[in-house]
Amino acid sequence: MKIYRSIALALIIVLFMPVNFVKADKLNLNATCAIAMDSSTKMRLYEKNADMIVPMASTTKIMTSLVAIKYGNLDKKFTVSKRAASIRGSKVGYKSGEEITLRELLYGLMLRSGNDAAICIAEGIAGSTEKFADLMNEYAVKIGAFNSHFQTPHGLDKDLHYCTAYDLAFITSVAKENKVFNDIVSTKDVTAGQYSFTRSYHNINKILYQIPGADGVKTGFTGKAGKCLVTSVKMNGHDVIFVVLNCTPRWKETKRMYDYVKKNYEYKKLVSKGEIVYSKNILKGENKLKLASPYDIYIPCSKDKVYSKKIIVSKDIKGPISNTGMIGRIEVYCDNKCVYKNYLLGNILTK
């Protein structure tokens, strides 16, 4: 028997158990822009001007690393050009003519914030910094960072080089899905002998030493952008991304934002992997449609909010579907605003 569905949707609302009522602290960070975001769900846990378009200095290098890992061969050696060796700002100190593997250049980029490493990576992968910037912009659009634009791989001030705190957190959450990226940005020190590098590297990111569970990510500073910092912290097994832009006391304010999230949020398990969240007889009762989650769903819950969930399924089944088709989704609401949504798998049981 063929099973059918239509495009029309029906909403089935089920209340999610509220957490205890505790009034959340107010927080006003000394930063032009800031955000705390759950890396998995992309939920905003705190924000201040998070969608304002601003320069982001060397936090640019998060995207540089992401693109380099995607398109480059980590073991391939790139030759340091005169342009790379003579770039201003923070540098590793590579000499013109040196041959450095992409893997080592990434450590120099992220641990030492090397502008020379950024140019060498860009030229080695794309032939020029301009063409590499094109790759950065293409990939930003592909992953959904629509309010960002890159002109350089290092982040020195340019009129059309900008981002938002939200986009930067989002880009970081994508980068955090990559083991190579995680291994690099969480490293405090790496010796030359570990990977046959040309030199050893010490991470200048002080936040790694100041917040328990901190495992990255990147510092930044220019005259236009001010002091910037993107931080990733493992909290109860979940990655939370913290971004502060144009923030002179960046270490202190990141720690304040971390303390705020730790005090005012807790992770709740909404649905277990394989759990049936919807069941209904269809086609005059001849078959039963069941929807289940293909994964555990955890969300960070504010301690002074009430959450509800909606299961959304096809209203009428009038088109062929497979037994494991994505024919439903789950949405979570807080204060009548959708804060999380994802798909559900459908299964048809014939009586």
- Taking the C-alpha atoms of residue 330 and residue 14, their distance in angstroms, rounded to an integer, is 10
Bin 59: left if φ > 0, else alpha if -120 < ψ < 50, else beta: alpha
Mapped onto helix, strand or coil, the DSSP state of residue 125 is helix
Q: Of 37, 13, 15, give the one whose Cα is nearest residue 307.
A: 15
Q: What is the DSSP string of 227-285?
A: EEEEEEEEETTEEEEEEEES-TTHHHHHHHHHHHHHHHEEEEEEE-TT-EEEEEEETTT
User: Is residue 263 annotated as a catalytic residue, yes or no?
Assistant: no
- Taking the C-alpha atoms of residue 266 and residue 43, their distance in angstroms, rounded to an integer, is 13
Q: How many CB atoms lie within 10 A of CB 281?
A: 12
Residue with tokens 């980068």: 175
Q: How many CB atoms lie within 10 A of CB 349?
A: 11
Question: Which residues make Cβ contacts (< 8 Å) with residue 328, sequence separation at least 6?
Answer: 278, 291, 311, 312, 313, 314, 343, 344, 346
User: Is residue 113 annotated as a catalytic residue, yes or no?
Assistant: yes
Which one from 113, 148, 232, 302 is the annotated catalytic residue? Answer: 113
- Taking the C-alpha atoms of residue 218 and residue 244, their distance in angstroms, rounded to an integer, is 11
- Tell me how many degrees the CA angle 153-156-157 measures, rounded to the nearest 5: 125
User: Is residue 186 annotated as a catalytic residue, yes or no?
Assistant: no
Which one from 39, 40, 48, 61 is the annotated catalytic residue? Answer: 61
- Tell me how many degrees the CA angle 320-322-326 measures, rounded to the nearest 5: 100
Residue with tokens 């998070």: 50
Which one from 40, 58, 90, 314 is the annotated catalytic residue? Answer: 58
Mapped onto helix, strand or coil, the DSSP state of residue 147 is coil
* Residues with catalytic roles: 58, 61, 113
